[in-house]
Amino acid sequence: MRRILPVLIALATLSWPVVAPAQEPLVIPAPTMGGNPSDDAAIWHVYGLIPGDMLNIRSGAGPAFRVIGALQEGQPVRNLGCRERDGGFWCRISTYDRPSISGWVNGRYITDEWVPPAGAEPEDDEDRVIPGTAYHATGTIRCQRLGDDRIAPCAFGIVRNGPFAEIDLTFSDGYTRSLTYRAGRFSAKDGAEVRSRKQGGVAVVTVNGEETFHIPDDVVMGW
Matching CATH number, 137-221, of 3.10.20, 2.60.120, 2.40.128, 3.40.630 = 2.40.128
More confident residue, 44 or 212: 212
The pLDDT of residue 139 is above 90: yes
The band of 126, judged by pLDDT with boundaries at 50, 70 and 90, is: low
What average pLDDT does this structure show over 10-19? Answer: 47
Q: Which of the two residues, 67 and 13, has the higher pLDDT score?
A: 67
Residue 194 Cα to chain centre, angstroms: 18
Q: What is the pTM of this model?
A: 0.50
Average pLDDT, the chain: 77
pLDDT value of residue 193: 94
Asked if 174 and 187 touch (Cβ cutoff 8 Å), the reply is no
Reply yes or no on whether the pLDDT at 171 is more than 90: yes
pLDDT, tens only, 88-105: 789 999 988 777 889 999
117 or 137, which is more confident: 137
Which backbone phi and psi does 161 adopt, to 5 degrees? -140, 80
Contact of 198 with 39, CB cutoff 8 Å: yes
| Across 161-188, average pLDDT | 87
Q: What is the pLDDT of residue 167?
A: 95
Q: Across the chain, where does the E strand assignment appear?
A: 42-46, 55-58, 67-71, 76-85, 88-95, 102-106, 110-111, 137-145, 152-161, 164-170, 176-182, 185-188, 194-199, 202-207, 211-216
Pick 27-111's CATH classification: 2.30.30.40, 2.60.120.10, 3.40.1710.10, 3.40.50.300.
2.30.30.40
pLDDT at 43 over 90: no
Domain ranges for the chain, please list them. 27-111, 137-221
Q: Report yes or no: 120 and 162 within 8 Å, Cβ to Cβ.
A: yes
Higher pLDDT, residue 16 or 75: 75
Report the C-alpha gap between 140 and 118 in whole angstroms.
29
